Structure 1
């Protein structure tokens, strides 16, 4: 072969099939693709089963033989080869993943990415359950439906809710399949220049570039299986396979007409023509049949196969038919196949087309004794894919570990970290632990602070999870952080800053509410903790009220809503309270008051010590005396401040620059602020 026919930019493609090896040498120019050499070799043993290498040594030697024959034909040494993994070894699963979210925060694109990754991770675990100790490449996934709080929704972003879900379809390729192909090629003294998938290779030839943005199915009807792939928006989103194809039709013919398998194949091909079909059965008797007879015989089988194919297409496409179907492979040439498939998918017959010889029109076969045939669609596609440099396997490094990654032409950082097995939860910000407590019997929760997202470096520069990647990129990840536990003081509760008002001797008195935490009174500076039981009382006892008013209660006759009250009598908002010093009451009044308890002299504490302190209130010094200890409310006895008139929206009270309450303790030298704001 002359150098002109085989220029330096030639490519060596090898279709490693279950029954045979097809080696192709060719090159691409502005006029199309030119095949300058081809070698077909059938396997001597069952070293390949269902598209997977079972005997690496045997397959490697067979590849070497094909390589050497092609080298002699083109008079050149071959070092690199393009190969493809069979579509039938792909595993596709459908899963539903759920994720709890903050109901007060709008759903972001990162939330959706995280949900999708949860779905892919769940699908990966399901695939691994069937076979242990086998790793899988995710070669494609697509969200079929999203749900918000259990209801289907088109787009989650921007909404609020407590739970989001996704119905997701993901496809995986066993790592051992890829490793087996690489090992067999290495035995032949070759390196893998490009590794793609057979459905991708077939698509490169069978489906024009401008059609791939559409939602299309490609069906490769082979001998034992029918491989299916679904395209959308320029990418393959799903793969599938059904275990029935052309051989099943041939077997039906063989059984009915009593012929061997090879003769049945010829009869099947003849059914697509108009002339009579002549054959000899196993008895040696010559028979003649009409093509219509064969079509009538095989129609039930074809109908069942097309029904199964249609069901699989709809399953892979999220429960709905595609816009069009392209059929390749010898099994699809049986008369009526495309028509019946169109019927099952409820598509016009013109939308389901057999792609055979016509798709190879732009391919020149400069090879003797080789005709353009649908069987060569995949081998030619493997070669063409090399020039596209898409939909193959590339190597990237994630945190120092080199991994192989299937390139669907839309690879991002998130695909690489997922394939590397990096934990999903370490990519996105993590909230700190929440503080949960009860307030007046109602459960409440303070959410933890959000942490920082993972820091992603691509080739040393900071980037995002959705940044596109290329082969040999270096990706380094610094895991996301956990946010802090929240801090909230009692006085930050709205309920704490409300007051209760009582009418005491005709005057309305506003009193702060008491806050009990786990049974003990706490000030506003108390930090709420998980498990706290907080009670904000809406009443005072008589004793608490008079203590707040700094009025001794023991020498008083106290009436609450016209009833004589004891120290523990509850006083609710707007209750009327009246009191009178017993020393001012007549003997008859005292006798009439059965509830008044005489105070025994022995009950009066002796040697009560009193302290005197000086505090600074709004830059004015005041002295408090006559008590053992003092609280903020005692200031009102010595400092002129009218509590009955509101001078603003908020009463500011601080002790040494710290927010205070009426019951906050005072100390000598304290600096106090008291004013309306």
Structure 2
């Protein structure tokens, strides 16, 4: 046996760790050996490692048993991050656009990136963590001017919006798994998500085009993955599962948790046990089922509510996996709530996996789906779990769950999506003689994205070692206007801004109230017997006459001035037809 062909898969569960060694065989996953072991204490909660050393001890024991049974040395392992650790967030992004602008793919991509940033910020705010891997997102709806639309490209309007369902995985979950595996003397060669691993073996590719919900019902949570049109469109989790059923038994019969767990799992028609008072009981299986039915109904309702929330309606079928999917009457309850035929809610086990080759007895129930799926997923996916790319020569590492693209990379480094948008200059809005006027700012220069020096966009795929370069867009010039420019457009007059007369160099500001009045009509006066026409001002004083007539006044000599035969002063106001006498 070639050691390079060996696939070692570990399902590191909250209570049980399952190890599988297998090889690929003509497209099937052939299992050579299986070992499983429970944690001695509660060292994991909801799929996240809390005590690295104790989890590592269990992994070491499983590893050594497998090595001894197969007479091989295991150095690499494939693992999965728990679906229950996923953070799923709905988000909406909106953007105002120019009505004459035709919506482009770049506009749509930038809008989606803004929605992703909003989703990530919401998850960070809710959890308190600051670092997340982006698993993926699905567009729920596009909107144009507030109304739903299938595709925004090529349309025109004043507002566009998008709603997305985004999924993130905390760094802590992955790093905890990596640390436990490393302490066990192993190196991670492949990582996936538990729901993806389960789907890979529970839902055949040829039926993945159908709308199917897979529910992994464990001890602490029920993880949900939904497929449609060949893709996984949503992940979610219900914090209600097998432990709630066990607790209802413990409460009813007054037992400790472990005894209640044995009662729940027993398939005997008559079950014997002792309560905490050491009183012996003998109950039938039907009596136990009657006790737990209210919790089973609650579990079914919660699962169905979550499926409809993210799928928008009942799916075509529901596949149940995980140890707690064996709960009595659970498939029937789910079928009833979703209004599906009972045969469309199916509990999947190892026998239903067509790509599995295995003759042993350790892998048989629905709890075996995920560990088999991890091994099979590693077999069909040879890519690395993380890839490293460079943004402006700085290395960036991203979780390789899906085919990553430029958008995923930029979200990982918290790149500001607004810097990618060709920002238009600020408009100038003011009122002119009571009417609102808007002068448009100039269009900006769009940003440019390059991958390995080739022009790209946000949806361009990236691979190990790619180099991403971003030339930021340049904002357009803000709209501007001077009083002089405005008067030229209005063919002269006198300009007032906010009730004050301004000079011609005044820059009109946003929100200004501008009034343009016609200039005072020109009029004629007589100066020393000659007619002189005054023009260019709203009001004229006697002193203004010296701007219209050529009179040479000797230094320090005060001329004698008369207005209409009376002695005049420099500040007298002139009127049409006035007779002016000036004696030097």
TM, length-normalised to structure 1: 0.71
Q: What whole-Å deviation, never above 9, does each CA across 1:290-342 have from its counterpart, x for those lacking one? A: 54x4443332211111111111222233x433332211112112222112112
Match of 2:307?
313
2:188 match? 192
Query: Cα–Cα, structure 1 residues 56 and 371, in superposed 2: closer, same or farther, change >3 Å?
Result: closer
After superposing the two structures, state which structure 1 stretch, 225-234 or 192-201, moved more.
225-234
Looking at structure 1, the residues matched to 281 and 185 of structure 2 have their Cα atoms a distance apart, in angstroms, of 51
State how far apart, in whole Å, the 2-side matches of 1:555 and 1:480 are.
Answer: 57
Aligned to 2:395: 402
- Which residue in the other structure is 1:516 paired with? 495
The residue number in structure 2 matching 1:375 is: 367
1:164-201 deviation digits (Å, cap 9, x = unpaired):
33333322211111112222222223222111111111
The whole-number CA distance in structure 1 between the counterparts of 2:442 and 2:538 is: 45
Whole-angstrom distance in 2 between the partners of 1:214 and 1:391: 29
The correspondence of residues 250-289 of structure 1 with structure 2, limited to 5 A, is 250-256=246-252, 264-265=260-261, 267-269=263-265, 276-282=269-275, 287=282, 289=284
Cα 1:183/1:446, change in 2 over 3 Å: farther
Give the 3 Å change call, closer, same or farther, for CA 297–59 of structure 1 in structure 2: closer
What is the match of residue 66 of structure 1? 62
Shift of 1:86: 0.9
Q: Using a 3 Å threshold, how does the CA distance of structure 1 residues 553 and 66 change in structure 2: closer, same or farther?
A: farther
SS in structure 1 at match of 2:582:
helix
SS in 2 for 1:438: strand
Flag the 1:185–1:454 CA change in 2: closer, same or farther, 3 A. Answer: farther
Moved more, 390-399 or 225-234: 390-399
| Counterpart for residue 545 of structure 2 | none
Supply the distance in 2 between the matched residues of 1:553 and 1:106 (Cα, whole angstroms): 64
The structure whose Rg is larger is 1
Residue 475 (structure 2) aligned to one of 476, 482, 495: 482
2:357 to 344, 364, 378: 364
* 8 Å contact from structure 2 (residues 142, 161) kept in 1: yes
Q: Deviations over 1:529-582 (max 9, x none)?
A: 756655455x564329x9xxxxx98689xxxxxxxxx998xxxxxxxxxxxxxx
SS at match of 1:45: coil
Pair 380,162 (structure 1): closer, same or farther in 2 beyond 3 Å: same
Q: Which runs of 5+ in 1 are unaligned?
A: 499-511, 547-551, 557-565, 569-594, 607-677
Q: Which residue of 1 aligns with 2:43?
A: 47
CA distance in 2, matches of 1:496, 1:163: 35
* Matching of residue 75 in structure 1 with residue 71 in structure 2: yes
Q: Which residue of 2 aligns with 1:388?
A: 380
How many angstroms apart in 2 are the aligned matches of 1:259 and 1:423? 56
Cα gap change, 1:247 to 1:440, in 2 (>3 Å): same
Secondary structure of 1:542's match? coil
- The 5 A counterparts of 1:215-614 are 215-256=211-252, 264-265=260-261, 267-269=263-265, 276-282=269-275, 287=282, 289=284, 291=286, 293-317=287-311, 319-367=312-360, 370-389=362-381, 392-486=385-479, 512=491, 514=493, 516=495, 518=497, 519=501, 534-537=514-517, 541-543=520-522, 597-602=577-582
Deviation at 1:521, TM superposition (A): 7.5
The answer for the alignment partner of 1:617 in structure 2 is: none
Q: Is the 8 A contact 1:250 1:265 kept in 2?
A: yes
Write the distance in 2 (CA, Å) between the matches of 1:386 and 1:184.
19
* Greater Cα offset, 404-413 or 13-22: 404-413
Corresponding residue of 2:97: 101
Cα deviations by residue, 1:43-98 (Å, 9 ceiling, x for unpaired): 23333222111122332343333333323333333222111111111222233333
- Report what 2:108 is aligned to: 112
User: Alignment partner of 1:600: what SS?
Assistant: strand
User: Distance in 1 between the 2:485 and 2:229 partners?
Assistant: 52
Q: Give the direction of change, closer, same or farther, for the CA distance of 1:132–1:200 in structure 2 (3 Å limit).
A: same
RMSD of Structure 2 on Structure 1 (CA): 3.6
Distance between the aligned counterparts of 1:128 and 1:261, measured in 2?
35
Distance 2:427 2:473 in 1: 18
Alpha-carbon distance in 2 for matches of 1:131, 1:268: 34
Between the aligned partners of 1:258 and 1:107, the Cα distance in structure 2 is 65
Query: Counterparts of 2:133 and 2:380 in 1: how far apart (Å)?
Result: 21
Q: Is the 8 A contact 2:484 2:504 kept in 1?
A: no
CA contact (8 A) 1:34 1:366 kept: no
Give CA-to-partner distance per residue, 1:106-140, whole Å, 9 cap, x none.
33332232222222212222222244453112212
Tell me, in whole angstroms, the C-alpha distance in 2 between the residues paired with 1:128 and 1:322.
30
Tell me if the contact between 2:102 and 2:156 (Cα under 8 Å) persists in the aligned partners: yes
**Residues 257, 281 of structure 1: 8 Å contact kept:** no
* Distance verdict in 2 for CA 1:402–1:16, change over 3 Å: farther
Q: Which consecutive unaligned segments of at least 5 residues does structure 2 have?
A: 525-529, 540-574
Verify the 8 A CA contact 1:280 1:287 in the aligned structure 2.
yes
What is the deviation of 1:467? 0.8
**Residues 81-96 of structure 1 correspond to what in structure 2 (within 5 A)?**
81-96=77-92
Q: Could you list the per-position Cα deviations for residues 329-372 of structure 1 after superposition, in whole angstroms to 9, with x for gaps in the alignment? A: 121122221121122223333332211233234312255x5242
Equivalenced residues, count: 538
Query: Of residues 52, 55, 64 in structure 2, which corresponds to 1:56?
Result: 52
Q: Deviations over 1:255-312 (max 9, x none)?
A: 44566656655654566xxx84343454675736254x44433322111111111112
CA deviation vs aligned residue, 1:243-266 (integer Å, no higher than 9, x gap): 221232233344445666566556
- 1:328 and 1:8 mapped to 2: Cα distance? 31
Of the three residues 205, 211, 219, the one matched with 1:209 is 205
